[in-house]
Structure 1
Amino acid sequence: MAKINLRPWREELRAEKQKQFVVMILGAAIVAGGLVFLWKSDMDSRIAYQQSRNAYIETATKKLDLQIREIESLKRKRDELLARMQVIQDLQGKRPVIVRVFDELVRTLPDGLFYTELTKTGEKVDIVGMAESNSRISSLMRQFEDSDWFANPNLSNVSAADNRRAGYSQFNLSVQQKTPEPEVEDNK
């Protein structure tokens, strides 16, 4: 006898396949949702990690900026102190020079001649003085030429003195101050 199936097997098969499809869609959606959740969690953790690194770099940069400002401030203070020390050393070094200059002014002064005014401007010394004769002024100029401390004497004016100094001539002279070379001792 032939088997006849009167049940609606096609509809049941279709319904079964539809249930399987829905289950597979739901499974795929759940897996996709899980993957999206994992990816988003990974991205959030990476972003948080990068933000923490950026925050660390910003704080380190601020600390370094403060240290750089402090270093620049210390450098300025150091430069100021070095400049002050240089000025003090220059003054200390020049202190004996003015004594030597005055000593040399006295050594070059011939008899019958005296200074009434001395003015120093930079390396130039202007002298106003009184002399008994013009030969004494010439002698003074020669002694300035031979001096280790002075050079280039320049006589600008010689005139008769006022009534208080009868017989004297007033003169104006300028010389250049020079620093003599230190003497080198040979130890032979």
Structure 2
Amino acid sequence: MAKINLRPWREELRAEKQKQFVTMLLGAAIVAAGLAFLWKTDMDNRIAYQESRNDYIEAASRKLDSQIKEIEELRKRREELLARMEVIQDLQGKRPVIVRVFDELVRTLPDGLFYTDLTKEEGRLTIAGMAESNSRISSLMRNFESSDWFSNPNLTSVAAAESGRDGYSDFNMSVSQTTPEPEEESDQ
């Protein structure tokens, strides 16, 4: 006899395929959700790692900024100290010069003449004094001309003394202060 299948096999096959499709769709959705979760977790970890690196860089940057400020303050203090040292060295260097200038003022001073006022402005000395005679003033000017420390004496005024000293003349003059070149020592 012939075998005839009266069962609805097509509907069963369709139901079976639909069940497989739903299972595969559900499986794909679970795998996609798992991949999405892994991707999100990886991105969160990367973001957290980058934020920690950014925090480290910001902390290092703040530390460097404070060090830069400290370095600038140290540089400023160094410049101030160098300026002070330069002033001190300049004063130390000029100290023997002023002593030498006063010594030379005494050496050029002839008898019968004395100074009443000395003023120095920018390498020029203004001298006021009293002299017994005009020849003493001329002698002082010649002494200044022959001096290594002074040059260009300029007599501005000579007048009879007002202080009651008979025979004395008040005078005002100016003279340029020069610093002689140090003498080279010869090898003997």
> Normalising by the residue count of structure 2, what TM-score does the alignment of the two structures yield?
0.92
Counterpart position of 1:30: 30
Change (3 A) 1:171 1:59: same
Counterpart position of 1:17: 17
Counterpart position of 1:54: 54
Paired residue secondary structure (2:164) = helix
Task: After TM superposition, list the pairs within 5 Å mapping 1:1-188 onto structure 2.
Answer: 1-162=1-162, 164-187=164-187
Q: Give 1:133 deviation, angstroms.
A: 2.6
Q: Report the AA paired with residue 164 of structure 1.
A: G
Whole-angstrom distance in 2 between the partners of 1:132 and 1:30: 125
Q: Mean Cα displacement is larger for which, 36-45 or 72-81?
A: 72-81
Change (3 A) 1:9 1:182: same
Whole-angstrom distance in 2 between the partners of 1:160 and 1:14: 145
Paired residue secondary structure (1:5) = coil
Q: Report the AA paired with residue 68 of structure 2.
A: I
Paired residue secondary structure (1:165) = coil
Paired residue secondary structure (2:22) = helix
Whole-angstrom distance in 2 between the partners of 1:168 and 1:177: 27
Whole-angstrom distance in 1 between the partners of 2:137 and 2:47: 94
Q: Give 1:163 deviation, angstroms.
A: 5.7
Instruction: Give unpaired runs (5+ residues) of structure 1.
Output: none
Q: Give 1:112 deviation, angstroms.
A: 2.4
Whole-angstrom distance in 2 between the partners of 1:44 and 1:163: 101
Paired residue secondary structure (2:3) = coil
Whole-angstrom distance in 1 between the partners of 2:65 and 2:95: 44
Q: Give 1:102 deviation, angstroms.
A: 0.7
Q: Give 1:43 deviation, angstroms.
A: 0.8
Runs of 4+ in 1 over 3 A off after TM superposition: none
Q: Give 1:2 deviation, angstroms.
A: 3.1
Whole-angstrom distance in 2 between the partners of 1:22 and 1:153: 121
Cα deviation, 1:27-65, whole Å, max 9, x if unaligned, reads 111111111111111111111111111111111111111
Paired residue secondary structure (2:180) = coil
Q: Report the AA paired with residue 65 of structure 2.
A: D
Q: How many residue pairs align between the two structures? A: 188
Whole-angstrom distance in 2 between the partners of 1:163 and 1:86: 45
Q: Report the AA paired with residue 84 of structure 1.
A: R
> Normalising by the residue count of structure 1, what TM-score does the alignment of the two structures yield?
0.92
State the identity as a percent.
Answer: 76
Change (3 A) 1:46 1:167: same
Whole-angstrom distance in 1 between the partners of 2:53 and 2:176: 69
